[in-house]
Structure 1
Amino acid sequence: MPDNAPPPGTGQNRRIAMISGGSLERDAKLARLATLAGCTPLPMDHTQPADFLLIDLSSETDRLNDTVSRITDYLQKYRSTALIWSKMESLEVIYAAFPQGQCHFLVNADDVKAMPILAGAFGRGGMDRLHDRDQEVEFRSLHRISDELAEFARALARMADPELKDKIKDTSISFRAAPLGGFQGFPSESSVANDISAKLSLREIIKLRRLRDRFFPPDLFADPAWDILLDLKAAAQEGQHVSVSSLCIAAAVPPTTALRWISAMTESGMLLRRQDPADARRVFIELSPETSAKMDDYIVAVSTRFAPII
């Protein structure tokens, strides 16, 4: 942040949220959203610092690249936190363009989940904790986020419109608790059998995991981190690149939730972002060498016990 620029929100009791919705109607909705969450909404001003940017890029077409460039410059200058609405079809370009660690991505106009982010369920401190390279990424907190967001969002929505109280449904995804020590440091070497794919077909395992959805509610088994790891390992064995949108689908949870996990796992060093050499506007996601070695070791260990990883 420039020396002459005051910190975001200085001298005010409410945080500042700058709005860029692409239309007067959308601007009004985003302003109301910010107000409900305890923020002061202001029109987008690239010379004034703000705590949050509320940017709806769902309707952007020809102006998308210019908008992304201007917002990226703003984030780098003021270190604000951005909430960015996107359609699934434009997610690749948007995810690749914005600086990692400063953005929450909300796919398909997911306004309800934006309210608790603004009101402090994440807040600036939560974003910092998830994206501070000098601290351990708090994966366990991600297991609780969806339920907390849903409860907070329902309360705020009822405050905004009492008539909605019977219409708002719980869209949370319940995760089983992360195992103690489940995200320890990686070993430097890996002893792996020569032909893992002959012992175990990861694609078949993934199919079996999805088969459960025919008999039970899908959110009963939500486990996005493991689904992400399985899909990336299978793709690596096949020599395939994995796009962000494809990985969101593989995670088997709503795209907004999947992006949260992808971002946190990338910041932790478990996953890597690689720019598409054929298209600079998008990135591929892959396992880090250490994570890939851990997956190899795990697959071999499980294979020797004749137990499927499902």
Structure 2
Amino acid sequence: MQDFAYEPVYDGAGCQLTVTILGDRDAPREEMRGDAEGAGFRVLECCSLEEFASGSTGGLGDLVLVDCRSMDAQTLALLSRLDVRAAKSGAQMVVSTIMETLDAVFGCFALSGAQILVDSGRAERVIAIGRVLAQVPNLRLRELSETDRLMLLRLTEQVGRMAQRIEGLSGQIFAGRSADGGAFRFESPTQGFTGHDDNQRVPGRDRVPQLPPPEAIRQLIHQRQLRMNFFDADLFADPAWDILLDLAAARAERQKVSVTSLCIAAGVPATTALRWIGQMVDADLLLRIPDPHDGRRAHIALADKTADSMARYFEAIGLTSDREVTPA
């Protein structure tokens, strides 16, 4: 992949945007440095996590790139502090990690809206930097290879489709939009809301059904997964629905769901699954629940209104709480 080459990027005061680069591995840290400089950022600091924790007293850059593949108490504490500092300063964070440490890393970033990349290569990190640059006004793009241009176009299309699908799903579960017209801001439904016109009330709509037995939901998930034995799995990629099904089964089982488990259930690369989870949390479809035993970790669950809509869906297809489950 050819390098991105941007003119230096500046804030409203005319100062070049800065980047803080943290990572314990020399080669990825230098690669991040080259990508950030190529994108127009001035490097404020580039060091290991330990060096930053023990010696840095300056402010964070406008962008903070972190490479974190091992986890201990000191690292967890540093990541949590970075999250708080970035949220206060408005710094944008891009954090690269691996599946084995995802739960711990995800739990550390509850405030700053960090982009978390899992088992990612350089291309995904460059795209993440590009998403940060997309928020900078009057950005001048000097040179972009045709390969990179197509990559950014695909990302734009993917994010656009993701937002449209989540907005449509949210619109079915929540009533109307708020007065400010935000894409993911919805008013609470009135007590008599049915989701239909007043003259088209649905019998039994006011009764909220229960979720079916978890075994029935798991069987439905298993049947969906069987398709991949006969067709290309990419034909059926539907992470939002797979996330909802997995969380519905977990709710029926009264089980907590870690973000790592949910990424696996989504059936897409973990970085893509995290984007879906983040947007669904922002749309109030899902809840991020701090672990009561470890405040640096978090679980994901269905919002109550989402669970009600899932129960109504299951009832509509004949999968009800009183149905006996036939072994698969």
Equivalent residue for 2:41? 39
Assess, with a 3 A threshold, how the Cα gap between structure 1 residues 48 and 276 changes in structure 2: closer, same or farther.
closer
User: Does the 8 Å CA contact 1:22/1:59 hold for their aligned counterparts?
Assistant: no
> Pick from 79, 86, 108: which aligns with 1:68?
79
Shift in Å at residue 109 of structure 1? 3.7
Partners of 2:211 and 2:30 in 1: CA distance? 58
Shift in Å at residue 102 of structure 1? 2.0
Partners of 2:108 and 2:75 in 1: CA distance? 11
Deviation sequence 1:205-257 (CA, Å, 0-9, x none): 11111111122222221111110000000111111111110000000000000
Shift in Å at residue 101 of structure 1? 5.0
Partners of 2:73 and 2:146 in 1: CA distance? 33
Identity rate of aligned residues, in percent?
31
User: Does the 8 Å CA contact 1:191/1:297 hold for their aligned counterparts?
Assistant: no
Assess, with a 3 A threshold, how the Cα gap between structure 1 residues 95 and 195 changes in structure 2: closer, same or farther.
closer
Equivalent residue for 1:232? 247
User: Does the 8 Å CA contact 2:87/2:112 hold for their aligned counterparts?
Assistant: no
Deviation sequence 1:72-100 (CA, Å, 0-9, x none): 23213311110001111111111111134
**Residues 1:28 and 2:30 are matched in the alignment:** yes
Equivalent residue for 2:265? 250
Assess, with a 3 A threshold, how the Cα gap between structure 1 residues 125 and 178 changes in structure 2: closer, same or farther.
farther
Q: How does 1:168-183 map to 2 (within 5 A)?
A: 178=165, 181-183=168-170
Equivalent residue for 2:4? none
RMSD (Å), alpha carbons: 3.5
Shift in Å at residue 17 of structure 1? 2.1
User: Does the 8 Å CA contact 2:44/2:61 hold for their aligned counterparts?
Assistant: no
Assess, with a 3 A threshold, how the Cα gap between structure 1 residues 97 and 121 changes in structure 2: closer, same or farther.
closer
**Residues 1:107 and 2:122 are matched in the alignment:** no
Equivalent residue letter for 1:96: G
> Pick from 271, 280, 284: which aligns with 2:295?
280
Assess, with a 3 A threshold, how the Cα gap between structure 1 residues 301 and 96 changes in structure 2: closer, same or farther.
same
SS in structure 2 at match of 1:284 = strand
Equivalent residue letter for 1:26: P
Assess, with a 3 A threshold, how the Cα gap between structure 1 residues 289 and 83 changes in structure 2: closer, same or farther.
same
Partners of 1:296 and 1:209 in 2: CA distance? 18
**Residues 1:192 and 2:208 are matched in the alignment:** yes
Assess, with a 3 A threshold, how the Cα gap between structure 1 residues 264 and 108 changes in structure 2: closer, same or farther.
same
Equivalent residue letter for 2:103: E
Larger deviation, residues 231-240 vs 200-209: 200-209
Shift in Å at residue 42 of structure 1? 2.9
Larger radius of gyration: 2
Partners of 1:102 and 1:125 in 2: CA distance? 17
TM-score by length of 1: 0.72
Assess, with a 3 A threshold, how the Cα gap between structure 1 residues 109 and 42 changes in structure 2: closer, same or farther.
farther
Assess, with a 3 A threshold, how the Cα gap between structure 1 residues 280 and 12 changes in structure 2: closer, same or farther.
same
Q: Across the two proteins, how many residue pairs are aligned to each other?
A: 261
Equivalent residue letter for 1:103: A
Structure 1 portions without partners, runs of 5+: 1-7, 127-150, 159-169, 306-310
Equivalent residue letter for 2:43: P
Partners of 1:63 and 1:153 in 2: CA distance? 43
Deviation sequence 1:10-58 (CA, Å, 0-9, x none): 5457532221122433321111121333333331565335321101111
Equivalent residue letter for 2:236: F
**Residues 1:241 and 2:252 are matched in the alignment:** no
Assess, with a 3 A threshold, how the Cα gap between structure 1 residues 60 and 231 changes in structure 2: closer, same or farther.
closer
Divergent runs of 4+, >6 A: 172-177
Deviation sequence 1:96-155 (CA, Å, 0-9, x none): 1113452000012432112122124773379xxxxxxxxxxxxxxxxxxxxxxxx99942
Equivalent residue letter for 1:65: L
Assess, with a 3 A threshold, how the Cα gap between structure 1 residues 191 and 83 changes in structure 2: closer, same or farther.
same
SS in structure 1 at match of 2:264 = helix
SS in structure 2 at match of 1:196 = coil
User: Does the 8 Å CA contact 1:232/1:286 hold for their aligned counterparts?
Assistant: yes
User: Does the 8 Å CA contact 1:227/1:250 hold for their aligned counterparts?
Assistant: yes
Partners of 1:107 and 1:179 in 2: CA distance? 22
Equivalent residue for 2:200? none
> Pick from 18, 21, 30: which aligns with 1:19?
21
